Amino acid sequence: MEFQMQLKQYAAEVEQALDACLPLCTCPQQEVVEAMRYSLLGGGKRLRAALLLAFCSVCGGKEEEALPFACAVEMVHAYSLIHDDLPCMDDDALRRGKPSCHIAYGEATALLAGDGLLTQAFDLMLHQQDLPSQRILKAAACLSRAIGAYGMIGGQILDLANEQKPETTEARLKETDALKTGALIAAACEMGCILAGAETEKIEAAKAYAKGIGLAFQITDDILDVTATTQDLGKPAGSDAKQSKVTYVSLYGVEKAGIISTKLLEEAKEHLKKAGLDSGFLCGMADYILERKY
């Protein structure tokens, strides 16, 4: 219960800050700004932002100084979801219980809204003045690496290539998920440490923790895709099978996939303990990922 309350508090703080970062405008660009806000606000659990803020706090930093960077991570996440839903990608018409951005605003505007959010994220980070410039640059570079061709975008390419390929191995799937889903989660955790000025040992522990929970998060998504309803998920259920995607569930079944996820999360918590980072919230996040229903 304490974890859920803290998560809700983080989500509320981030939502308020995001609203302020991207205000409504009456201007020639109004439509794309509205589309950006449509996908950015009013939904999402803000898990990545919460991880960034929590790691900053447990490493001795100030959460209020890290909040703009948490917002930047959420902007990047929203951009990735807009692009994921496009007809040329996953072709999903529903996101967070409402029409996907391209359904609401058209494909061209949705594409540009995603681009706009990505750009806005870096503009937001690089205009901060409350932290040492070296930390700001290091955090921005961390996010840049995580979402590029050798990070999240690379994972998306592998994911597209895996479709219609029943011979995809666990090693290939693990690599895909580590980049597609895990890279942004890992960046959020590492950025929180960087912004607090944490030592290398704690940064490495945060990365190891993030690697475990990132893969477990994707495995849980795979499980929910076949066990939850569209109403529960807020996005189309059964889409993996529809697109013939190879997932942990298609490889091993729901039960074994759940066992793999549990092991990953226990190992993630061990990394925290060894580095003295085992806060109630961060351990609670691991448990939440295992038990979440949507």
Neighbours of 130 (CB within 10 A): 11
Provide the mean pLDDT of the chain: 93
| pLDDT value of residue 164 | 67
| Mean pLDDT computed over 160-184 | 87
SS3 of 138, please? helix
| Mean pLDDT computed over 115-123 | 98
What pLDDT digit, counting tens, does each position of 194-208 carry? 999 999 999 999 999
The model's pTM: 0.94
Structure-block tokens of residue 183: 């890279």
Domain count within the chain: 1
How many whole angstroms separate alpha carbon 134 and alpha carbon 152? 24
| pLDDT value of residue 162 | 84
The answer, yes or no, to whether residue 90 has pLDDT greater than 80, is: yes
Lowest mean pLDDT among 112-121, 142-151, 212-221, 223-232: 223-232
SS3 of 120, please? helix
Enclosing domain of residue 60: 2-291
Evaluate whether 17 touches 41 at the Cβ level (below 8 Å): no
The answer, yes or no, to whether residue 1 has pLDDT greater than 70, is: no
What pLDDT digit, counting tens, does each position of 246-283 carry? 889 988 999 999 999 999 999 999 999 999 998 899 99
Higher-confidence position of 96 and 43: 96
Choose the most confident range, by mean pLDDT, from 114-118, 215-219, 232-236, 239-243: 114-118
The answer, yes or no, to whether residue 166 has pLDDT greater than 70, is: no
What pLDDT digit, counting tens, does each position of 16-61 carry? 999 999 999 899 999 999 999 999 997 789 999 999 999 999 999 9
Q: What angle do CA 260, 261, 263 make, to 5 degrees?
A: 65
How many whole angstroms separate alpha carbon 178 and alpha carbon 86? 22
* CATH number of the domain enclosing 116: 1.10.600.10
